[in-house]
Structure 1
């Protein structure tokens, strides 16, 4: 396979620049991986605590040997459309794990806020800070060290970067991200812009504006424009952290449920196969450059100029805006998705 020389050069300079910190990170996760599942080395009282609330079958599985135990960390809440579908996912994931002779435990929840709700309000000041709170909450959920793999459920702007940054602290484990998918297309962007303009001119009242906005943001799922939330899903797929093809499938559909179940099957299989690379090895300089190239080629959110370097740093890699700029000079834009065009993310999926 031929790689563009600039893409190859940027990848190599990131690798060289990051060698000391990357090697230290890999050494740390290698030690953790070689130690094996902590659960089976826990004192009896600790292990009893870890499965006290489990049903009889799961308790026998967790205490009886080397069965795989998967942590579920979720950003579910029922206020935000993007995260509301996640309510039903743990049951699907747990049942799928059980069918495979494994266990999935809901390890913890993380906060999730929406810039679309807080923009122009004081809550917006918390938005970027929330990413690091989410990373910390993810680390707390995983700190019980009773797990062999991770399922990370989240969608929006700071949530997915926060989940990934936190999970990379436990990069000796395999991980699969589980998205919810976008809501079906509603009021078109062109019509929405027209109504907003009429409102700004005083030709439509607030009731008419709210009715239009409610036809645009109208159902469970991610907003349909290609902002940071949907770009998150594209990047997780490009980095190899999704079930392939799962980024933009609508919630509440048989395919979405099948993809959710497949995420559990995938991570259980990864956890059982000691030859499979864990999260911290998957997220290497090639994955970071691949994500950046995909970000540029699809016209994704510029917020990832903040998130991609932070994700890389959590895995011991050092990248900067010069790397992003060098790549941007040679990566063509292949898609025109709103706000970089008229199509929405459902058109992009189609």
Structure 2
């Protein structure tokens, strides 16, 4: 039977954690007050003027317009990193309509609040575009915040994958921490060429024993369909 005694925190980790708590206490308290104040305000669209609210549901179907005029049902804001160039994000194309249908079936509504950019190190590795990798997190956070700034939503769904997009979305979710939130992944890419075999072909190419056509075929068999890829930081030939 596993012991019920809690594990002792490493002394160094405990010390660093305590310093962070003390240093962030004032800002954390301010953040918590802001989130509590926002939460007390309840449904945000109730505070909108009639003109504001009319703009907010002008493109909706009659059923959703009627629901949004009332304040007793939830309206979900959808933020998505969809694009059809990157395998990890391509599946998100159909998610909004599925979410809207599910919300409607429950007597609620959902609106696509905004899209955020998504870049992939698997494509930009070794290229100038990789310089945008970390910067893109701030852009994603701002883009998501713009989408949620309209005070039309009671909760948010963040559709995103990968180590640039999720941190950016999380920053936005923290800023709108008064809204219940859920992060929705796109699902995995089915298994393709195993990493060991991919590495073997790369090594053969580096040794000049196979050509670019064989290398490209191996890479294509590895990253071969929609879904979050199995990208690993194996050395990639520049040719």
In the superposition, the TM-score normalised over structure 2's length comes to 0.91
1:67-117 CA-to-partner distances (Å, cap 9, x unmatched) read 111100000000000000011111111111111111110000000010110
Secondary structure at 2:201's aligned position in 1?
helix
In 2, distance between residues paired with 1:19 and 1:25? 10
Once the two structures are superposed, the pairs formed by residues 53-64 of structure 1 within 5 Å of their partners are: 53-64=59-70
The verdict on how the C-alpha distance between 1:214 and 1:10 changes in structure 2, with shifts beyond 3 A counting, is farther
The verdict on how the C-alpha distance between 1:97 and 1:28 changes in structure 2, with shifts beyond 3 A counting, is same
Q: Show the counterpart of 1:46.
A: 52
Aligned residues: 228
The verdict on how the C-alpha distance between 1:103 and 1:2 changes in structure 2, with shifts beyond 3 A counting, is farther
Q: Show the counterpart of 1:5.
A: 8
Q: Show the counterpart of 1:270.
A: none
Larger Rg: 2
Name the Cα RMSD after superposition.
1.7
Q: Unaligned regions of 5+ residues in structure 1, if any?
A: 228-338, 340-350
1:234-288 CA-to-partner distances (Å, cap 9, x unmatched) read xxxxxxxxxxxxxxxxxxxxxxxxxxxxxxxxxxxxxxxxxxxxxxxxxxxxxxx
Task: Tell me, yes or no, if the aligned pair for 1:61 and 1:103 is still in contact at 8 Å.
Answer: yes
1:140-171 CA-to-partner distances (Å, cap 9, x unmatched) read 00000111000000002210100110121111
In 2, distance between residues paired with 1:213 and 1:123? 20
Q: Show the counterpart of 2:227.
A: 221
1:181 Cα deviation (Å)?
1.6
In 1, distance between residues paired with 2:36 and 2:138? 25
Q: Show the counterpart of 1:137.
A: 143
Secondary structure at 2:54's aligned position in 1?
helix
In 2, distance between residues paired with 1:19 and 1:11? 14
In the superposition, the TM-score normalised over structure 1's length comes to 0.63
Matched, 1:103 2:103: no
In 2, distance between residues paired with 1:144 and 1:55? 19
1:12 Cα deviation (Å)?
5.6
Task: Tell me, yes or no, if the aligned pair for 2:122 and 2:231 is still in contact at 8 Å.
Answer: no
Q: Show the counterpart of 2:177.
A: 171
Matched, 1:154 2:160: yes
Q: Show the counterpart of 2:24.
A: 18
Q: Which of 112, 123, 133 in structure 2 is aligned with 1:127?
A: 133
Matched, 1:83 2:50: no
1:11 Cα deviation (Å)?
8.6
Task: Tell me, yes or no, if the aligned pair for 1:38 and 1:145 is still in contact at 8 Å.
Answer: yes
In 2, distance between residues paired with 1:80 and 1:65? 38
Q: Unaligned regions of 5+ residues in structure 2, if any?
A: 235-239
1:136 Cα deviation (Å)?
0.3
